[in-house]
Amino acid sequence: FKNAHRGIPMKLQIRERDRRALLFLGIAAILYGVISFGLLPALDSLSEAASNVRDKEQQLSKYRRALVRKGHYAQLLQQVRNTVAAAEARFIRGDNPTLAAVELQTIVETAAKKNGIDLTQRNISTARKKDDFFTEITMTVTFEATSNQLSSFLGEIRNAPEFTVVRNAQIAPAEVLQEAPKKGDSKKMLRANLTIAAPLPVPVRSKG
């Protein structure tokens, strides 16, 4: 009877505690697989996507700041252009020195005629460079006038629509006085030699 049990199948008995342990082990293996092959790659993808979003946000913020600055600079540049245009409107145009000389002569002769002054001598110089932005033409005139006429003439030159300035003035009595002028006497003639200048903006040449 020693080997009688060899042909009889044996029953494997698993205790309840071992069965629960195996069940937990199986669940843990499944969870490990899910986490390792499913959840962790998904989390990595989410992290990478979030990083990409932050990069895009930073890029967009940078571009928007650049656009804001560009718009601000564009406004400032336009304001400067408007200011320059308004200032240039007060100058005799410098793109044609010959026409500029004619315009200066017209301003001076109109002021003289308005005040009853006869210009006995007049001479207009060619345009001379002052700096990188301006050239200048001058007109030298000689005439005789009363003090009132001379004062009014200088006022007309100073208040001309275009910028003009008296660079040099030599004023003396037209005749030698034998006695001091009486109070209120404005009829004595004066001889004036004036150099009147007009600055001309140098035309801006586009590069390219």
Q: 152 Cβ partners below 8 Å, 6+ apart?
A: 114, 115
Of 103, 94, 75, 81, the C-alpha closest to 161 is: 103
Backbone angles phi, psi at 201, to 5 degrees: -65, 135
Q: Find the helix or strand (DSSP H, E) in which 200 lies.
A: strand 189-201
- Model confidence over 172-203: pLDDT tens digits? 888 765 555 555 545 678 999 999 998 888 87
**CA gap 101, 127 in Å, rounded:** 8
- Model confidence over 56-91: pLDDT tens digits? 666 656 766 766 776 677 777 777 777 777 777 778
| Degrees to nearest 5, angle at CA 165 with 162 and 168 | 155
Q: How far out from the chain centre does Cα 47 lie? A: 44
Number of C-beta neighbours around residue 39 at 10 A:
12
Greater confidence, 42 or 29?
29
Delimit the domains of the chain by residue range.
12-89, 97-177+187-201
CB-based contact 101:137 (threshold 8 Å): yes
Instruction: Indicate if the pLDDT at residue 45 is higher than 70.
Output: no
Record the tokens describing residue 140, joined without a space. Answer: 């030298």
pTM strictly above 0.85: no
The one-letter code for the residue type at 129 is K
Q: Where are the beta strands (DSSP E) in 23-174?
A: 119-124, 128-129, 134-146, 165-173
The topology under which CATH files domain 97-177+187-201 is Alpha-Beta Plaits (3.30.70)
Number of C-beta neighbours around residue 80 at 10 A:
10
Mean predicted lDDT score pLDDT of the chain:
75
Query: What integer pLDDT is reported at residue 204 of this predicted model?
Result: 65
Query: Based on the number of CB atoms within 10 Å of its own CB, is 153 exposed (0-12), middle (13-18) or buried (19 or more)?
Result: buried
